Structures are given as C-alpha cells and as structure tokens.
Chains A and B, each alone.
Chain A
Amino acid sequence: MRTTESGSRRPLSFYILAGFFAAFVVFLYGPMLTIYVLSFQGPRGGLTLPMNGVSLHWFRALMGPQRTGDFVGPFVRSLALGLIVLAATVVVSIMAGLAFRRRFFGANLIFYTAVASLIMPGLLIGLGVGLMFQITGAQPAWWSSALGAQLTWTLPFGLLIMFAVLSRLSRSYEEAARDLGASGWQVFRHVLVPILSPGIIAVAVFAFTLSYDEFPRTLLTVGSQNTLPLEIWAMTTNVTSPALYAVGTVTTLISFVLIALAIGLILSIERRRLRRAVISRGASD
C-alpha cells in the first residue's frame, strides 16, 4: 500500500498501529510462552514464576504412568485419529470441491448443511452422535463415533478451503489435457492434483490439527478410551504440577512442527513454480 507519494516515509499512524499489532501478538502468544518456560522447571517447580530450577523432570514424568491416568496411550490414539481424519477430509473435500464447480441437484442443501455443521456448538454434535450410538446399541469408540463427530467439523473447513483454491483455478488446463487425450483420472492425477497441491496441503494440516486438538465433539463420543485433549481436560482439574504445562509444551510443539512443515512445503512448491515460469518465459523470448 502506498501511504505517501514518496513511498518511503511512513505516517505516524503506521507506528501506532504497528505497536497495537505487536501488543496483540504478545497477548496472543505471551501466555503460551509462559507455560512452555514453566514446564522446564526442576522437580520442586510450582505453577507460576519464578522458576524453581531447570530440568526435564516434568517431561520424563509424562512418559511414566501418571497419578491421574496415562499420557502415552491417548497421545498415540490422537495421532492415529488425526491421520484418519486427515485422509478422509482430504479425499472427501477434494471430491466435493470439484462437484461444486458445476450445478447439481441438492448443491445448495449440502452447502448450507456444511456451513450449519461448521458453526454448530460442538457439544450438541457430541450429544446427538452419542444418542445415536446409545439408541442403536452400538459401542462408541474413538475410531467410530468420535471420528464421525470430528468430521462434521473438519469437512466444512476442507470444503471452504477447496472453494477458495478452486475459484482461482482456470479450466483451460483440464481442457487442454483432455484435448490431448487424457482420461478423467489422468487429468485429476497429473493436472489437478499438482496444481491444487498447496491447497490440499492446507486442507491436510487443518484436518489433522483440528482433530488432534478437538475437545467438545469428542467428549461425549469417545467411548472408554480417551484422546489426548480429553486426558488434558481431566488433568486440568486434577494436576497441580508443571506436568500439565509439559503436556502443553509437547503437544503444541508437535502442532508447530507440522504447521512449519506444511508452510515450508507450500512455499517450496510456489517457489519452484515461480522459477519454472521464469525459465519458460526466458525460453520463449
């Protein structure tokens, strides 16, 4: 944005707003950073500053059996569930995204249902799915009822991302491929997937992280074996040691690594594309 004609001097409002933005970022991240720091305390550490020694004690404590339950089992379950949700969300959202490029019977109904599903209070979904399993006599479990409940939240996100990605996609690539004799699958595999790959990665990282941290929809649908967020919720009422913060540090670290990987991957795809575009333009000159 050109705020002044010369383009170099910034107005006073820029510095005020920049300060406001910085304060907002501190508000957003400050508390999280505090608990990461506090999780590295010594064995006699408390719940607030000042730090009482520095050690990895509370991380080691996580690996052993807990007074309040188990960390490793729910963690593995959450990872597995996150991966299943990821796979299902990516496949189903791509298909649905492609479907919505044309008019078809019921398109509006499905769209509005997806939006309603997105903003529906999570506990209500859990209540409904829980009732469905209870009435039919089916046994709720993390891989059945909780999976379904989570998909009602990840699929609408996936669909909206696919809308955003597909709205910028010109059909001429597909038409060219088809004119050259490509089959429907070939067009999809060799034209659409490569073009859409940054969007698909975005859907994947949304799906995994939303599932991995999901709480309100999972609470009433998980059955007898907890996922990690439910275990953490139980800990918030029982655990009064930095072990709770150590859980937070570990699980957030995993999310951050995944997000960084996804962003890195998207950037490298975009950069490679840009380079190719420059090369091909150079070649045609």
Chain B
Amino acid sequence: MRLPGGAPPYLQAAPLALILLLFFGVPLLLVVVVSFWTFDLYGFHPALSLENYRQLLTATSTYKVYLATVMLALIVWAIALVLAFVVSYFMAFHVRSFGWQVGLLLICTVPFWTSDIIRMISWIPLLGVHGILNQTLLKLGLVREPLKFLLFSPFAVVVAYVNLFTLFMIVPIFNSMARIDRALLEAARDSGAAGWRIIAEIVVPLTKTGIALGSIFVLTLVMGDFYVVAEMSGGQMASVVSAMSNQISLLQYPPAAASAVVLLIIVTLMVAGILRVVDVRKELTG
C-alpha cells in the first residue's frame, strides 16, 4: 500500500533543507570561521587567530553595549508583555463572537505586513520638538517649552520597539488564551474565586507557552536590531548589532564576525533558558 501524501517525505523536505543549508547553515559557519581571521587595510586573510575575540572581550565598551542592549530588551519585553496580555485577554474572554475575535486580531496584526522603517519614521512628526505631541502640550499649557527627550532619545527607541514588536507577543498569547476551556473559568467563578485569582491561577499558567514564545520573539528582535536604535536615538545609542553594522560598513569583517558569534551564543543561551522553563514545540507544530 502507498503511504498517504505521495512522494517520500525526505524528498518533499529536501528543497527546504537545501535552502536552509545553503543560505543559513553555510553562512553561519562562515561567520564562525571568519571570526578567527585577520584583517588589514586591503581585506581579510585566512588565519586561526583569537585576536578578534581578545579585543572584543577586553574592551569595556563591549560590556557597556551588551548591558545597554539587554536592559533595552528587558524594558521593551516587560511593556510588550503587559500590553499584549491585556489586549489578548480582552479579545479572548470579553469578545463573544468568533468573527469579532478574528477581526480584532487582524487589526492587531495587519501592521506586521507593512514596512518597519515606515512605521518607525511615522513617529518623527509626532514626537519631534515641533511635533504634534509638543504642539498639543504647549497649547494645553502643560509644558512651558517643548519636551526634547521625546524624539532621538532612548524614549523614542522604546516607543518604536513597543510599537513594532508588541504584535509578536499578542499572537502567541491570544493563541494560548483562545485554547483555554471556558468551563474552567466558570467553575472557578462558581466556586467563588475572585477575578484576579482566576487570572493569576488559571489564565497565566495556561498561557505560559504563548508568553514564552512571544518573549523569544520580542527579546531576539530587540537584541538583533540595529536600525531602529540608530535612527530613533539620533545616533546617540548603540546596540550590539548596530556596533557590528558600523564595523561592517568599515569593512572590518573578522571583528564583526567575532561579535556576531558572541551575540549568537548569548541569544542562544537566552532562548534555551526560556525553553527550559516552557516547552513550546507543541505550540508551534499544532
């Protein structure tokens, strides 16, 4: 008897495997290899040198940038988590019709299919010194002179990140919440549990996988960003990857590669840490 699905599975999976090998596996390996190479004004040269790593790990600026990037990632993560939890909770438990749920979820996700850069620069007319927010505050008499920290500042970077990345938290959290059996909540309510106890003891534990998945997305997105931080801080702030992109634009590929390897190790440890607490594989494969 023939198996359902026709062709043997390894043949069906071959195109995916080959593309991932050629454009993900090999390039990643090359980054690791090149991180041991040397470079000079004329280009880079095959070698087995630890110089790039020595320079990277002995510079105090490295640790400052990492600390700043991790702090930024944690701040954005915390804000996105709270926003996404409340928004998803509303959609999952207060919106009654399935059609409305789908519609509202779509409203939250449509920006994902538009340009990040455009969404980022959209904040400029709002937050600038002569921007809409400052104009309004001045008119209302709430401030005497325009607030300068709104744009090209750490504040603007956080606003842009939260604006861009919260939906990566909403989709998995809503997905988890939508699967919670409503009878469970009614049973808890009938036994006299207060609203916040239902959330803390039923909703949050059952939304764990969604929270974990969303956290992985948001943390890796912030840790891997270079252009939002460059543009929205007005060049005042650096992240790990923006520092790396500066090295690349100076054609210093080997040190950039070493920096990439260190970042990869740290991001992998972060993701592994989250996966140790929560198993998300089932959530992904359905």
Nearest opposing residue in chain B for A47, CB measure: B125
B54 within 8 Å of A by Cβ? no
Given the contacts A34-B125, A106-B10, A20 and B111 also touching, CB distance less than 8 Å: no
- Selecting from B56-64, B84-92, B200-208, the interface stretch reads B84-92
Measured in the bound complex, the distance between the Cα atoms of B91 and A99 in whole Å is: 34
Residues of A within 8 A of B284 (CB): 115, 160, 163
Within 8 A of B (CB), among A1-52: 1-3, 10, 13-14, 17-18, 20-21, 24-25, 27-32, 34-35, 38, 47-49
Q: Quick one: which of A38, A121, A164, A255 has the most chain B CB within 10 A? A: A121
- Expressed in whole angstroms, the minimum distance between the Cβ of B167 and any Cβ of chain A is 8
Which single member of B94, B107, B114, B241 contacts A14 (CB below 8 Å)? B94
Residues of A within 8 A of B12 (CB): 95-96, 98-99
Measured in the bound complex, the distance between the Cα atoms of B23 and A29 in whole Å is: 35
Given the contacts A28-B108, A178-B2, A213-B116, A47 and B124 also touching, CB distance less than 8 Å: yes
Nearest opposing residue in chain B for A145, CB measure: B23
Given the contacts A27-B163, A102-B5, A159-B16, A123 and B244 also touching, CB distance less than 8 Å: yes
Nearest opposing residue in chain A for B96, CB measure: A1
Given the contacts A95-B15, A114-B16, A121-B267, A232 and B118 also touching, CB distance less than 8 Å: yes
Nearest opposing residue in chain B for A171, CB measure: B4
Give chain A's interface secondary structure class: helix
A135 within 8 Å of B by Cβ? yes
The A-B contact count (CB < 8 A) is 279
Which single member of B6, B94, B117, B248 contacts A187 (CB below 8 Å)? B6
Contact A152–B23 (Cβ < 8 Å): yes
B122 within 8 Å of A by Cβ? yes
Contact A135–B94 (Cβ < 8 Å): no
- Selecting from A56-64, A244-252, A274-282, the interface stretch reads A244-252
Contact B24–A152 (Cβ < 8 Å): yes
- Expressed in whole angstroms, the minimum distance between the Cβ of A24 and any Cβ of chain B is 5
Q: How many residues of B contact A (CB 8 A)?
A: 91
Contact A215–B256 (Cβ < 8 Å): no
Residues of A within 8 A of B154 (CB): none
Q: Quick one: which of A27, A98, A99, A125 has the most chain B CB within 10 A? A: A99
Measured in the bound complex, the distance between the Cα atoms of B24 and A216 in whole Å is: 15
Q: Quick one: which of A47, A168, A256 has the most chain B CB within 10 A? A: A47
Please encode chain B, from 135 to 167, with 1 for each CB lying within 8 Å of some chain A CB and 0 for all others: 100000000000000000000000000010001
Q: Quick one: which of B17, B114, B216, B223 has the most chain A CB within 10 A? A: B114
Please encode chain B, from 75 to 91, with 1 for each CB lying within 8 Å of some chain A CB and 0 for all others: 00000000100110111
Which single member of B9, B91, B95, B224 contacts A122 (CB below 8 Å)? B224
Measured in the bound complex, the distance between the Cα atoms of B13 and A44 in whole Å is: 56
Contact B257–A93 (Cβ < 8 Å): no
A92 within 8 Å of B by Cβ? yes
A120 within 8 Å of B by Cβ? yes
Contact B132–A48 (Cβ < 8 Å): yes
Within 8 A of A (CB), among B251-285: 253, 256-257, 260, 263-264, 267, 271, 284-285
B39 within 8 Å of A by Cβ? no
Contact A127–B24 (Cβ < 8 Å): no
B210 within 8 Å of A by Cβ? no
Within 8 A of A (CB), among B89-133: 89-96, 104, 106-108, 110-111, 113-119, 121-126, 128, 130-132
Nearest opposing residue in chain A for B21, CB measure: A113
Contact A113–B90 (Cβ < 8 Å): no
Chain B interface residues (CB < 8 Å from chain A): 2-13, 15-17, 19-20, 22-28, 30-31, 34, 83, 86-87, 89-96, 104, 106-108, 110-111, 113-119, 121-126, 128, 130-132, 135, 163, 167, 182, 186, 195, 216-217, 220, 223-227, 231, 241, 244-245, 248, 253, 256-257, 260, 263-264, 267, 271, 284-286
